[in-house]
Every structure is written in C-alpha cells, then in structure tokens.
Structure 1
Amino acid sequence: MSMNKLIMSTLKPLNYPVYPLHYPGESDTYITFFRYNESASLNADDEEKITGFYYQVDVWTKNPSIYESLSKQVKDSLEANGFVRRSANDLYEKETQVYHKAMRFYYAKNK
C-alpha cells in the first residue's frame, strides 16, 4: 500500500475530506497532508532496509468548536497505525478566518 493510501484510509473514518497537498472542495473542514522528507532510516550491507517517511498533516476548519477534537482524532488515528508525532503547531489564518493545526509525523517502513 502506498503511503498516501495508508494516510487516507487511516483518516477516512473521521468523516472529513482527506487530500494530498490541496483540497479542491467546498467544505469548511478538511484535512490535507504532504511528504516533506523521505530518507533511509536503516542501511545494512550498503542496502536500504528501512525507509523513513516524514509527513505534515494539516487540519483546516472555520469551526473553532471542532478544531481541538478533530486535531486529537487525527493524531490518535495516525499514532494507532504506526505513525510517530514529531511536532504540532496551532495556527490561525487571518485572511480566511480558518483554524489550522499543522502536525508532523514520522513513519518507518521496511523495504
């Protein structure tokens, strides 16, 4: 399974749109993600054995009452499926009045 499919299937039960890079729809609440790094995490005998994937997952919403709970659901769902959270930032997009949570995760995958 590709990493994009893994993230999308992991977050699908949350019942909000989930898209790589850009959300093309009209919903006020959605999730996007992108890979910001991919590198060898373990090499043996000059061969890559484990690949490390680094993703940023973003929660976007105009509804402040679901912002924290959805962010926690995203975090918990990804961690339950093998992702390790590296950092998280609370942001507010003033121009569009959107609450934005940017979370970074690491995932190790055998080659």
Structure 2
Amino acid sequence: MDIVEKVDDVLSTLLKPLGIESFYGWYDKDINDTHVTFILVSDTEEDYSDDEAESINYLIQVDIWSKQNMETLKENIKATMKTLDNCTYESGADLYEDDVKIYHKALRFNFWVEI
C-alpha cells in the first residue's frame, strides 16, 4: 500500500462515521458541506549511504474545508494521522477563505519510509 492509499484509508476510517467526505486533491468549490482533502506535497530522498538514498520523507497536507470552525475535527485528524508508523505532525494553519466564506484548516505531516 502506497502513502496516498494509507492516508486515504486512515482518513476514511475516521470521517465516514461522521458523514464527512474525504478525497485526494484540492478543495471543491461546489461542495458546501464539510469535507477533507489531502495531497502529497513532496517526497524527498534522505539518509544517503554510498550515494544511495535509504529513506523517503513524504510531506502530506490534509485540508479541512467547512462553513464552521472545525477545531475538534482538526485535533482528531492530527491524532489519527499520528497512528500511522513514522508519521509526525509538522505544522498547520487556521485560515479563512474570504472569497468563498469558508474555513480552511491546513495540516502538514511528515511520513518517513525506509527504502
């Protein structure tokens, strides 16, 4: 299972019982209901030995889009993502997209994988 599938699986498990849709990609301006998107921002090879990378660090961004400020959902997503092996929370931002009047919480996670 690749990183995108792992993130999709863990988010779906958390969000489906709440009736919240999640998907890979960017915000859908036509969806007014609370939803979550995620993307792979970067994948960086690391820990070189004899000019060969021994690990990859993936940077994943998870975004919450809602007409309401979803602080509890943010904390639940952080806790759920950190259940993945070698996944740590890097940073986040609480934003408000004034043009569409929607709250946007951006959460970034590092996910380290040995090659």
- Tell me whether the two structures share a fold, i.e. TM-score over 0.5: yes
User: Aligned partners of 2:48 and 2:21: how far apart in 1?
Assistant: 37
Aligned residue for 1:28, secondary structure, equals coil
Superposition deviation, residue 27 in structure 1 = 5.2
Q: What residue is the counterpart of 1:106 in the other structure?
A: 110
Matched, 1:5 2:8: no
Superposition deviation, residue 99 in structure 1 = 0.9
Q: What residue is the counterpart of 1:55 in the other structure?
A: 60
Aligned residue for 2:99, secondary structure, equals coil
State TM-score, norm by structure 1.
0.88
- Contact 1:41/1:108 (<8 A) preserved: no
Q: CA RMSD in A?
A: 1.6
Superposition deviation, residue 75 in structure 1 = 0.6
Deviations 1:11-52 (A, max 9, x none): 112222221113557351111111221111211122111111
Matched, 1:41 2:46: yes
User: Aligned partners of 2:27 and 2:100: how far apart in 1?
Assistant: 15
AA in 2 matched with 1:92: Y
AA in 1 matched with 2:62: V
Superposition deviation, residue 63 in structure 1 = 2.4
Unaligned runs of 5+ in 2: none
Corresponding residue pairs, total:
109
User: Aligned partners of 1:5 and 1:17: how far apart in 2?
Assistant: 15
User: Aligned partners of 1:27 and 1:17: how far apart in 2?
Assistant: 11
- Contact 2:65/2:105 (<8 A) preserved: yes
State TM-score, norm by structure 2.
0.85
Aligned residue for 2:82, secondary structure, equals helix
Runs of 4+ in 1 over 6 A off after TM superposition: none
- Contact 1:92/1:98 (<8 A) preserved: yes
Percentage identity across paired residues of the two chains: 28
